[in-house]
Chains A and B, each alone.
Chain A
Amino acid sequence: MITAGVDLGTQSVKVIILKDGAVIGRGKAFSGFDPAKAAEQAMDEALTRANLSLGDLSHVTATGASMALAPKADSTVSMMGADAKAGVFLFPKARTIIDVGAEEARAVRCDDRGVMVEFVVNERCAAGAGAFIEAMARALEVKLEEMGPLSLKAERASPINASCVIFGESDVVTLIHRQESKPEIARAVFDAMADRISSMVHRLGVNPDVVLLGGVAKDAGFVASLKRKLDIDVLIPEFPEFAGALGAALIAASKAERSQK
């Protein structure tokens, strides 16, 4: 059976094609002003890689902030539901799943079937999410991908406010004026984010296997800060930014199976 998951995120659209539990195609496109068009692009890319056409798909499930705009979706699933499903599929013992995307950070607690039982979302502010790193990189005049490696050179962190992107940025400017080193400021940014996210995770209770998903999981600086804050190892899959699409594709598979019966 072949199914697809489409994750229409705030920054990019990701598509996964799944055949009998194995990923056979991936596609990605920037959401831009037309997420529906981006979804078509990402779908085309994934189908080309899998050497398939749209007609081969038994079921398509959409997720992500713009899921309502998904073209040709048979069903939708919440981002939290998709995270839970993907997290347990990738790491069967995982019961706490964290997802840090561009605009939102979430933590989900789930059972052994990957059904979520509780979730928390960062409250109406992007300070715990990827957009925060971008804003801080701008303030430090470094590239986004340099932030992580830079922060790892720091011996200590300077304290900043991460309750708000705007206030966080003005704190960073203050630190720059105090001539604190860039690595220390970069680490402060990640520590502040990790602080917010770990308190979300603690509200759910920390289970031994914690999985980190979402685009920000690729940032070594953030991962180091989060591990320090949670004081446990964090499991990260090979393509963390595709986890939402994977979860949706898995849910598509179980829906297709159910309708076959």
Chain B
Amino acid sequence: MISQQKKYMIEISQKEIEELRNSVKATSRKVMAENIARMKKTSKNRPKAMEYFDEVADLFGKREKEIQAAKESGKKVIGYMCLFAPTEMILAADAIPVRVNSGWYDTSKLGDRVVPVEVCPVIRSTIGAKMIGLSPYLELSDALISVLTCDGMTKLGEILSDYKPVWAMPIPRVKDLPQSLRFWREGLLTVKGQIEALTGNKITRKKLKSAIEKTQKATKAFRRLQELRKGNPVIMGRDAMLVNQTYMWDDITRWTEKTEALCDELEEKVRRKEWSCSLDAPRVMVTGTPMIWPDNWKLPTLVEEGTPQGVLVADELCSSERLLYDPVGVDEWTMDDMLNAIGERYLMASTCPCFTSKDGNADRINWMLNKIKEWNVQGVIYYVVRGCMSYAMEYTRIKKVLDGINIPVYYLDTEYTREDVGQMKTRVEAFLEMLTARIDI
């Protein structure tokens, strides 16, 4: 029998847990409402279809109740931290995938009781959220897939195993060695077995095919939305980010339909030339540490509400555009081929800085160069939270590349806190002003 002793987590009284949860939840509700109100105010001609996403963005709302009800009818919920968890397999076993990384500032302070403040705040905040049972999706998860990407994520899974079954999935950190894909594929088979054992549902060829088709459709809608951001701004970056991000917990089929409907409306707006902001707003891309709803809306808000105003047209974030950009490409619908396709989609397409290759993280550079060119990006904000080593370290190389093509890049470091907004505003606005001055001339 497993010992009841927790390996990492400290003991907190039930009373303190409840008090903290109620107070953080109240703050979070206020933050969510304020963010959405500001997004509505900022965007000219905001699409009506956004209403759905505004609603599903409520972390303590409709979707929580839906998942709760699905669980009561016997469905299993499988949570994951990093993007590499094979969503298709979860769907094929008739379970619900949800991403459980935390974007709550207040819970990072709680995480400080378990790990030192030097640790990345995404990790500390997720630990804190678990301590007080804040995150509905984390709480509802029957098991967690912990892909061993960065150091923080590796240990986070271990810490969360104090509460839930955690399936650690090792991932090769050199992408282009001959054994890497083989090794990763073996891991996929292991996790497939784990999913099947938990759910009692066998992942058959037919079921996996239909799950892959489901995410392929989602990818198509997702790509269509990003394509629409190439031209004059027809949707604000924050709105697009919210759509992208709700994929992490929404019902995938419904999300796909709603995103397609949003794109229909946006195409109509393009025809009518109804833009979301001034065409003079500098076009910005963000890259770096994931920005997770709801508190982590600080930087996008500063950009899109700044003086001068900027517009986010693209990003390279695993919490937004990297979520679904790459489809699972299947040649033949055999089990073998589908597993290969899933393996490749998750490993090879990722631009996460936890990887290296013969040419370092050349995939990330290529992604950025392509985005800059195709989306007509005028400046890049390199966003890093303290303790996020891999992103911090890759900055030097990215900057050299961007200098080479004369694209300004600004390194912005921050924390899971609201207190530094004033200082960040000074920097972000100076950067936007600089981009505007460059465009003027």
A121 engages B427 (CB within 8 Å)? yes
- The reply to whether the CB of B413 lies closer than 8 angstroms to some CB of chain A is yes
Q: A157 interface residue, CB < 8 Å from B?
A: no
Q: Looking at the complex, which one of B413, B427, B434, B441 makes contact with A116 (CB distance below 8 Å)?
A: B434
- The answer to whether B430 touches A78 (Cβ under 8 A) is yes
Chain A facing B: main interface SS: mixed
Number of A-B pairs, beta carbon distance below 8 Å: 41
Q: Is the interface of B mostly helix, strand, loop or mixed?
A: helix
Asked if B437 contacts A116 (CB within 8 A), the reply is yes
Fill in one digit per residue for A119-136: 1 if any B CB lies within 8 Å of its CB, else 0: 101011000000000000
Question: Complex Cα distance A2/B281, Å?
Answer: 30
B408 interface residue, CB < 8 Å from A? Answer: yes
Instruction: Please give the distance in Å from A139's CB to the nearest CB on chain B.
Output: 26
- CB distance A124 to B437 under 8 Å? no
Number of residues of chain B lying within 8 A (CB) of chain A: 17
In this assembly, does A118 line the interface, its C-beta being within 8 Å of a C-beta of chain B? yes
Q: Which B residues are within 8 Å of any A CB, using their own CB? A: 307, 408, 410, 413, 420, 422-423, 426-427, 429-431, 433-434, 437-438, 441
Evaluate contact between A119 and B430: CB separation under 8 angstroms. Answer: yes
The reply to whether A123 and B413 form a contact with Cβ atoms under 8 Å apart is yes
Q: How far is the CA of A65 from the CA of B429 in the complex (A)?
A: 12
- Beyond known contacts A116-B430, A121-B426: 16 more, CB 8 A cutoff: A65-B426, A77-B433, A78-B426, A81-B433, A81-B437, A115-B434, A115-B437, A115-B438, A115-B441, A116-B434, A116-B437, A117-B408, A119-B410, A119-B430, A119-B431, A124-B420
Could you tell me if B434 and A117 are in contact, using CB atoms closer than 8 angstroms? Answer: yes
Given A115-B437, A123-B413, verify A79-B423 contact (CB < 8 Å). Answer: no
Interface size class of A (residues with CB under 8 A): 10 to 19
Q: What residues of A have a CB within 8 angstroms of the CB of B423 in the complex?
A: 121, 124
Chain B residues closer than 8 Å to A76, beta-carbon distance: 307
Measured between beta carbons, the chain B residues less than 8 angstroms from A116 are 430, 434, 437
B441 contacts A80, C-beta separation under 8 Å: no
What chain A residues lie within 8 Å of B429 (beta carbons)?
Answer: 78
Of all A-B residue pairs in the complex, the 5 with the closest CB atoms, nearest first, are: A78-B430, A80-B430, A115-B437, A78-B433, A116-B434
CB distance from B385 to the nearest CB of A (A): 12
**Is A81's CB under 8 angstroms from B426's CB?**
no
CA A113 to CA B438, docked complex, whole Å: 11
B307, B430, B433 pick with most chain A CB within 10 angstroms: B430
Write out the residue numbers on chain A whose beta carbons fall within 8 Å of the beta carbon of B420. Answer: 124
24 pairs from A and B in contact (CB 8 Å cutoff):
A65-B422, A65-B426, A77-B433, A78-B429, A78-B430, A78-B433, A79-B426, A79-B430, A80-B434, A81-B430, A81-B433, A81-B437, A115-B434, A115-B438, A115-B441, A116-B430, A116-B434, A117-B438, A118-B408, A119-B430, A119-B431, A121-B423, A121-B426, A124-B413
